[in-house]
Amino acid sequence: MSFYLKKTAKSRGTIVNRFRKRSAACGLVILCMVPLVFSSARGQSKARQFSLTAENPKFWDLIDSKARLSQFATGFGFTEGPVWDEKGFLYVSDEEQNKIYKVAADGAKVELISLGDPDGNAYDRKLRLIDCASVLRAIIAVTADGKYTILADKFEGKKFNSPNDVVTGPDGAIYFTDPTLDLVKGETQEIPFQGVYRLDEKGSVRLLTKELTQPNGLAFSPDGKRFYVDDSEQRNIRVYDVTADGSLSNGRLFGSEPGAKHDGVPDGMRVDEAGNIYVTGPKGIWIWDAGGNHLGTIELPEQPANLIWGDKDYGTLYITATTSVYKLRTKARGFVPYLAKPQKQK
């Protein structure tokens, strides 16, 4: 999660749903305005804003121009780390209430564990819930009964900064980012850089890169050959080639997500089966194709921090956005790392 998002994200409360469709032939922008109203926790109507803006006609191959955003659950402090379970529920971190919740299909939430500033989550190949525990400065595995085990909390004998986001790699290893965005006030930064790491099943931690200033969200391409990681401070996304042993090479700029000071920054990211990348950023979710072309943006009523593919066909985006979780049906199908066929190292 980004410090900028946590401290500045607010609902804008605009009363219309807007979507714009750009003509490939002449660049014409068509603006349609449709009321969009959600019911608040108290049963009162509250107007919110949702819009779809295409920068490339291919955007409409992924998102229906008439798609409707719905509020899946609300009443949180600051949502992060969604994980979809095939039984039909979500795990969601709440960084302000310091809990991980299990959220049912009707939006009802039940506490799984009370934990200081839980952040990004993922399932590994063993279907363990892996959490980036900021206060513990560790990567942990959380059981269904709310217990946890520390998998790693140090690199070369020094404490991590504040692990932020995590993904299962094509080799079955756990990959995670370690910025200083949530370093506990008063505690010392022991590692003199903000790294991206690989944690194998034997507990061995390997540094992959330390060239980013505040690494945050991360994802692999469906074929496992490319690795994406964004930098919240630089407001950009980098891409690397993945070598046979899980190392990274040929790091380069993939795309930038500029915005105003309080618009949000690059954070969580996911990939669909076709290799398109969905990255939270200024005002919403930016969709990119594998060539680094910005296809369009899904603007949300609250600033998003992360997202996950869900439903039986993994065709719905579940989005953690400040005090709520939203869902949006897409035309795409999500790539789910822990369900992918393992790729053995050579």
66-100 tens-digit pLDDT: 999 999 999 999 999 999 999 999 999 999 999 99
Please name every residue paired with 175 in a beta bridge, in sequence order, or none if there are none.
Answer: 167, 198
Q: Are 181 and 216 in contact (CB under 8 A)?
A: yes
Residue 212 belongs to some domain of the structure: yes
Average pLDDT, the chain: 88
The 8-class DSSP code of residue 4 comes to: H
343 falls within a domain: no
pLDDT at 40 over 60: no
Domain count along the chain: 1
What Rg, from alpha-carbon coordinates, does the chain have? Answer: 19
The answer to the question of residue 155 being in a domain is yes
Q: What is the mean pLDDT of residues 43-53?
A: 66
Contact 278, 269 (CB under 8 A): yes
Give the residue from 34, 19, 53, 79 showing the smallest Cα distance to 302: 79
Answer for the pair 297, 262: CB distance below 8 angstroms, yes or no. Answer: no
Is position 345 within any domain? no
Decide if 160 is inside a domain.
yes
| Residues 71, 87 contacting (CB under 8 angstroms) | no
Give dist(CA 29, CA 340) in Å, integer.
39
CATH number at residue 259: 2.120.10.30
Q: Lowest mean pLDDT: which of 31-45, 114-128, 211-225, 248-262?
A: 31-45
Q: 84: part of which helix (H) or strand (E)?
A: strand 79-85
Q: What is the pLDDT of residue 34?
A: 36
pLDDT band at 168 (very low <50, low <70, confident <90, very high): very high
Q: Which of 276, 325, 285 has its CA nearest to residue 107?
A: 325
Amino acid present at 288: W
Percentage of the chain exceeding pLDDT 70: 85
Taking alpha carbons only, the member of 63, 140, 143, 56 closest to residue 102 is 143
Tally of residues, the chain = 346
Tracing tokens 């409707």 back to the chain, one arrives at: 68
Task: Give the pLDDT band of residue 6 (cuts 50, 70, 90).
Answer: low
Distance CA 249, CA 111 (A): 41
Establish if 341 belongs to a structural domain: no
Range of the domain at 239: 3-336
Cβ neighbours for 192, distance < 8 A, ≥ 6 positions apart: none
Assess if residue 157 is contained within a domain: yes
346: in domain: no
Among 87, 216, 94, residue whose Cα is nearest residue 162: 216
